[in-house]
Structure 1
C-alpha cells in the first residue's frame, strides 16, 4: 500500500537508485492567537482563545466535534473574521479590530477535510491553482515537481474522479504545499481513509511538512493521531483551550478529568477525601489540594492494573493483591479487556492486559494496582492546583 513512498520517479539519480524529490523549503513563521473570539449568534465558537505556535512547530488541535477546532482554522486562513481578539503571523496582525488581510495575502495553506478538488480541472491544474502569480509554464513545472514528490506525476493530465481516496488526499496535500506557505492548516486530513492507508499518509504528510518547514496546525479528534503527529497537543472544549503540552505531559499529568478520558481508558470511582488522602481497598492515595470531606473521583487506568490467576499470584503478595472474579472477557486483538468484580469495590473494574494472557470468565484472579496509574480529580473534574 505504501510502495508509492519510495517509487522511482523521472528525477531518479543517474546511478539508478530511486530517490524521492524533496519539497522546497519555506520560511517558518510564528503564529499567535491573542484572546480570539468568534461568535455565531449568542454562541461563542471561540471563547478568548490564546496560543503561540513556534516557527516550524507542528501543533495538533484535539477535542470533540463542535469545540471550535475548525473555526480556529477558518479565522486563521481568513475565510471568516474573528469577532474579537487578534491573529498574528510573525508579529504582523492579519486579523483583528484594526486589520483584516485577505486569505491570498497571508501565506497560509489550508487543506480541507473533504479535499475539495475541482472536478473540471486536471490534476496538475488542481495542484497549480494556488500559483496564479507565476507564468503558466512555471506554475506547471512547480506543480509537476510536487506531484513527483507525492508519487502521482503520471496522473498529471487526468481528472480527480479517477483517483482513490488516498490519492485524492495526496493531491490535496500537494496543492496546499506547493505555494510554500509559511503556515499550513489541515482540517482532519485523514478522517476519510482506511486504517492502513491512514498510517502511511500520516507518516508521509509529517515528512513533507518537516521538509517544507511550514508552521503547521492539524485538527483531529483522535488522541493517538495527535500523539503521532504533534510536537505539541492543544486540547479544546467549548471554544476554550483546556490544556496544552507534549503527549507525555497530557497523558501523565492531565489537568482535567476530560483530558484524562481522552488519553487513556480509565475506571472512575467516587470517593471522599479524608485529611488530604483517599483510603482505597489497595491502599492510601494522596489527594493534594482537596479539602477534607470533599467529594473526589478516583481514576484507575485500565492498563495500570496487573491481573493473574489466583492460584499463582505472579509475585504479588497477599498484602498488595486484591481478590477478584472475572465477569467478562473481550478479545481486542493485541489486548484483552476484562471486567472484574473486585473485593472492596462497589463496582467492577475494567482491566486491559496483553493478548497473551488468557483467563476465562468466572476465574478467580488477583489484582495489583500500580499507584503511578492512579489519578485524583475533584468531583467537578477540574484540578485547582
Structure 2
C-alpha cells in the first residue's frame, strides 16, 4: 500500500498544486475499523477506564463526550499508542495493536493525532510543519503534498512563515492539515476547538467536518461540549467514570436518554422530586407516566425548559389551560428568552426558554402549559456534569 501511495503522489509536480482552497480536495484514506474490547487503564488505585468496549465503523465519526476526568483523553491516547492499556485489547481493522501480549508503536498504526494545543513545531516553517509526517516520501513529493493540503485549508501564502505569527484559528488549520496529509486510516482529535472563540469555533467545526468526509478517515473526537458532539458526530459515546453510559445518534441521546446524567448533558431541565405510584407520578401538571420505576420509589421529574409554553393570563377568563404563574425575571439571550416563573403547585420557580417574541415581562401573570413529549422521569442520582 505504501508503494502505491508514493507512486500516486509522484504523478504530479509542485506546480500542479491548486492555488485556491476551494479547488483542492483532501486525498481519501483507507478507512479502518477501530475497536476497543474491554479496555482497562489503572493509575495506582484509580481506574481511568473500567472495561470499556466500543466499535467504530470504517469512515464513521464518533464523539467521546463527558465531564473532565471521565477517561475520554485516556482512551484516545491508548488508541494512538501513547498510553498502554492495563487490560483488554485495541484493534485497528481487526489487527490487534494493543493488549497484554501485543503493542504496536504509534508510528506503525496508521493513526493521525491532533492535540488540544495544536503542538506545532515553533522552529519549523508552516510548510515543514505540515510535511513533518511525510518523511517516507522524497522531499519534493512531501513538499507537493504539504502544499496541496495548505491550499485546501487556505494557508498557502503562509508556507514560509513560522507558527508564532498565526492566529489561533490559523494554527488550528495547520495542525489539522499536518494530521490529515499522511492520509491516516484513523484520525484522533483531543478537544481540537477548545481554544477558539465561539464564532471561529463554529466555522472550524464545519471545515473540519468537510475534511473528515473528504478523507473518509475513521474519526474519534474528544469533547465536553454536547452541542459540538451533536454537530460533528455520526454517533456520540457518553462517558462517565471510565465507562460508557450510552451511545447513539444525537437524536437518540436527546429524545431517549438512559438516565438523569445523560438528560442533563443534552437538555436544560427543571428537576422536581416526585414519588411513583401505579407506574405514574403526580405533578402540578397532572399525572404523568413513569415507566420502569417501582411503586413507592422516589424519582425525578424532568421538564425541559423548552418544553414549557407561556401564555398571557387573562383575568376573569374561565377554562384557561395550564397552571397559573407569575414571571419573576426575564433574561434576553438572543435567540431565546430565559424566564423564571413562580408556578402554582411548585416549591421552586420553573425555568422556561421561549422565543424572544413571547414578550412576557417580570410581574406579569401567565399560564404555563407543557408538551408531554418534553417530560422525562428517572431515578434520583446525585450526578454532576461539570
Which TM-score tier does this pair reach, normalised by the shorter chain? over 0.9
Give the distance between the partners of 1:223 and 1:113, measured in 2 at CA. Answer: 17
Give the distance between the partners of 2:173 and 2:318, measured in 1 at CA. Answer: 52
Give the distance between the partners of 1:283 and 1:345, measured in 2 at CA. Answer: 12
Give the distance between the partners of 1:148 and 1:29, measured in 2 at CA. Answer: 26
- Following superposition, the deviation at residue 115 of structure 1 comes to 0.2
Give the distance between the partners of 1:266 and 1:332, measured in 2 at CA. Answer: 17
Q: Tell me if structure 2 keeps the 8 A contact 1:86–1:95.
A: yes
Which runs of 5 or more structure 1 residues have no equivalent in the other structure?
Answer: 1-8
2:368 maps to 367
| 1:173 maps onto 2:180 in alignment | no
1:4 maps to none
Q: Tell me if structure 2 keeps the 8 A contact 1:256–1:381.
A: no
Give the distance between the partners of 1:150 and 1:334, measured in 2 at CA. Answer: 31
1:11 maps to 18
| 1:290 maps onto 2:297 in alignment | no
TM-score, normalised relative to structure 1: 0.93
1:138 maps to 141
2:127 maps to 124
Give the distance between the partners of 2:238 and 2:295, measured in 1 at CA. Answer: 31
| 1:36 maps onto 2:36 in alignment | no
For residue 293 of structure 1, give the secondary structure of its aligned residue in structure 2: coil
| 1:60 maps onto 2:63 in alignment | yes
Give the distance between the partners of 2:343 and 2:371, measured in 1 at CA. Answer: 15
Give the distance between the partners of 2:346 and 2:164, measured in 1 at CA. Answer: 57
- 1:282-361 to structure 2, matched below 5 A, reads 282-311=285-314, 317-318=319-320, 320-361=321-362
Q: Of residues 213, 220, 224 in structure 2, which corresponds to 1:221?
A: 224
Q: Of residues 249, 260, 283 in structure 2, which corresponds to 1:257?
A: 260
| 1:272 maps onto 2:283 in alignment | no
| 1:376 maps onto 2:383 in alignment | no
Q: Tell me if structure 2 keeps the 8 A contact 1:316–1:368.
A: no
Which runs of 5 or more structure 2 residues have no equivalent in the other structure?
Answer: 1-15
Q: Tell me if structure 1 keeps the 8 A contact 2:35–2:90.
A: yes
For residue 201 of structure 1, give the secondary structure of its aligned residue in structure 2: helix
- Following superposition, the deviation at residue 342 of structure 1 comes to 0.7
Give the distance between the partners of 1:228 and 1:134, measured in 2 at CA. Answer: 36
Deviations 1:169-213 (A, max 9, x none): 000000000010000000011111111111110011000010000
1:106 maps to 109
- Following superposition, the deviation at residue 317 of structure 1 comes to 5.0
Give the distance between the partners of 1:44 and 1:178, measured in 2 at CA. Answer: 35
Give the distance between the partners of 2:220 and 2:254, measured in 1 at CA. Answer: 20
- Following superposition, the deviation at residue 10 of structure 1 comes to 6.1
Give the distance between the partners of 1:20 and 1:375, measured in 2 at CA. Answer: 48
The number of residues matched between the two structures is: 368
| 1:206 maps onto 2:213 in alignment | no
Give the distance between the partners of 1:210 and 1:229, measured in 2 at CA. Answer: 11
- Following superposition, the deviation at residue 30 of structure 1 comes to 0.4
Q: Tell me if structure 2 keeps the 8 A contact 1:257–1:381.
A: no
State the superposition RMSD in angstroms. 1.8
